[in-house]
Structure 1
Amino acid sequence: MIYDIRHVTTYSYETQVSFARCALRLEPMIGDGQELISHSIEIRPKPAERTSRRDFFGTLTESVLIETAHRNLRIDSRSRVSLTRQPPARDAGSPRWEDVRDIAFEATSLGPRSPVGYIFASALAPVLRPVTEYAAASFPPGEAILSGAADLMRRIRNDFRYDPKATVISTPLRDVFEKRQGVCQDFAHVMLAGLRGLGLPAAYVSGYLRTMPPPGQPRLQGADATHAWVSVWCGNDLGWIGFDPTNDLMVANDHIILAIGRDFADVSPVDGVIVGASKQKLSVAVDVLPVE
């Protein structure tokens, strides 16, 4: 499957901004059944300086310096990717979760794909006893890692209500868990914290999800969205497998990876600092179009 992706981020400021420095993580990753065919970013006003580097996790991070005074900042990212994923069935054979946990703790590599870097708590996905106990219900002794992770994903989808007004990025995980509501990044953080509380390696994934209009209705421009899900290390043979707790889906060819990290703080598509405005309005429009 080949997709054309357009991701437009627009900031409108109450007063003029004299300086801005942004970090952009908008180039889709290569690997995990995903190939990057092309990518470009247009920025208005034009930056005075643009530099890029690969972070520890392999994400291309572009640093942008804007010195032109402005009231609006527009970042227009366009990509084409090819996907050829074959996720395993939920009930496919896989190691016991206790064996995966033990092997992960014995890992000697400290590279970005090593499971050991994703076992421990992170700032936005702390290990909390109630969340660990919630996850443990999906992992009785001897349970296979795939079926246990799929069951936890299903339970989060059923037990938590999607509500974009319920949380903001700074809402603590404890509050999300107690209220049982939030958005995709909250559900991903809950699943991460639960798995890590059991000693299982899990990574946060940001990207895009292709959405389909109801039968007989036209597709709306900007109707697709940035999305978040979880990648679980399932042993040396299976490696990293994607689970989408917001939709109770095994990650296949409708999920496009932008970045991978420990939690949202590692993978935010756009962040930075500005000088000169007290209030701002953010709008994001995403289109994910299959190439015929």
Structure 2
Amino acid sequence: MNYRLRHRTTYSYDDVVGFARCVLRLTPRSSPTQTVLESEVTVTPAPSAELDRTGPFGARILTVTVDTPHKALVIEANSRIDVHVPPPGDPAQSPPWEQVRSAALAASDLGPDGPAAYLFPTQRTPIVPGITEYARASFPPGRPILAAIDELNRRINREFRYDPGATEVSTPVAQAFAARHGVCQDFAQIMICGLRGLGLPAAYVSGYLRTIPPPGRPRLEGADATHAWVSVWCGEALGWVGVDPTNAILAGDDHLVLAVGRDYADVAPIDGVILASGAQTLKVEVDVIPSLP
């Protein structure tokens, strides 16, 4: 499936900003299931300096410095992507989860696509005993890895309430878990905590989910949104499998990957600092549009 992707972020300031430095992770990631055909990031006002590099988890990171006085900063990323996610196969034929755990602990690949970096807790995804035990209910001894992951994915969707007003970016995962509500970031990080607590490699995926308007209604310009889900390493043969606990589905051709990391802090699309006083207003517009190859 081919897509045109536009991600436009506008910061409007009450007072003039004299200096801004932004770290941008807005170039989609090529992988075995996704090919980036073209991509461009533009910043207005034009930056006085740029640093383009590849991060430790394979994401392209663009750091820009803007020292032209401004009251609005506009960052727009335009990309064309081919997404081609193969079906994972029969869950019952996948290896037992304990076998996958042992293979992950023995793996020697320390690169961004290997399992090692995604086995250990982080500040945002610590080992929380209650979350580990919650996940363990879906992982009885000998259960095939895909069947166990699918059940946990569906349980989180069924037992947690999607509530955009319930949490913030900084809300601790244990708090979201205890309250049983949150947004896609919370659902993803809860699942990651549970899987890592069992010794399974799990990654946080930042990207976009194609939305389809109701029958007879036009697609609204800029109305799509960023999304988050989980990628689980299921052994050498199966590799990484995406699961979306917000929607209780496997990640497929409607899921466009922007960046992969251990948690949200590794993949935040935009972060940085400004020198100014006064308040700011943020507006984000996203378009995910199917296109011809």
Structure 2 length as normaliser, TM-score? 0.97
Query: Over residues 72-97 of structure 1, what are the superposed CA-to-partner deviations in whole Å (9 max), with x where a residue is unaligned?
Result: 11101100001111131463511100
Aligned to 2:231: 231
Amino acid at match of 1:155: R
Q: What is the CA-CA distance between 1:177 and the residue it aligns to?
A: 0.3
In structure 1, the partner of 2:71 is 71
1:96 corresponding residue in structure 2: 96
In structure 1, distance between residues paired with 2:265 and 2:17: 24
| 1:166-185 equivalence runs, <5 A | 166-185=166-185
Partner of 2:260: helix, strand, or coil?
A: strand
Q: Distance in 2 between matches of 1:191 and 1:207?
A: 17
The 8 Å contact of residues 91 and 145 in structure 2, kept in 1 or not, is answered as no
Contact 1:87 1:250 in 2 (8 A): no
Q: Percent identity?
A: 53
RMSD value over aligned CA atoms?
1.1
Report matched runs for 1:22-61 at 5 Å: 22-61=22-61
The residue type equivalent to 2:112 in the other structure is: P
Greater Cα offset, 100-109 or 181-190? 100-109
CA distance in 2, matches of 1:263, 1:279: 28
Q: 1:103 to 1:53 in 2, by over 3 A?
A: same
Displacement after TM superposition at 1:109 (Å): 2.4
Contact conserved, 1:17 with 1:69, CA < 8 A, in 2? Answer: yes
**Are the equivalent residues in 2 in contact too, given 1:90–1:150 (CA < 8 A)?**
no
Once residues 32 and 253 of structure 1 are traced to their aligned partners in structure 2, the CA distance between those partners, rounded to angstroms, is: 13
Aligned match of 1:253: 253
Cα separation, 2, equivalents of 1:166 and 1:89: 36
Q: Deviations over 1:234-257 (max 9, x none)?
A: 011001000011111111100011
Q: Distance in 1 between matches of 2:286 and 2:90?
A: 30
Query: 1:277: Cα distance to partner?
Result: 2.8
Query: Would you say the 8 A contact 1:243–1:251 is kept in 2?
Result: yes
Secondary structure of 1:26 counterpart: strand
Deviation at 1:32, TM superposition (A): 2.9
> How far apart are the structure 1 equivalents of 2:52 and 2:90?
39
Deviation at 1:5, TM superposition (A): 0.4
In structure 2, do the counterparts of structure 1 residues 136 and 90 end up closer, same or farther at CA, with 3 Å as the change threshold?
Answer: farther
d(CA) in 2 for partners of 1:168, 1:32 = 33
Paired positions, count:
292
1:11 to 1:93, Cα distance in 2 relative to 1, 3 A: same
**When the two structures are superposed, what TM-score results if normalisation uses the length of structure 1?**
0.98
Structure 1 stretches of 4+ with a deviation exceeding 4 A read none
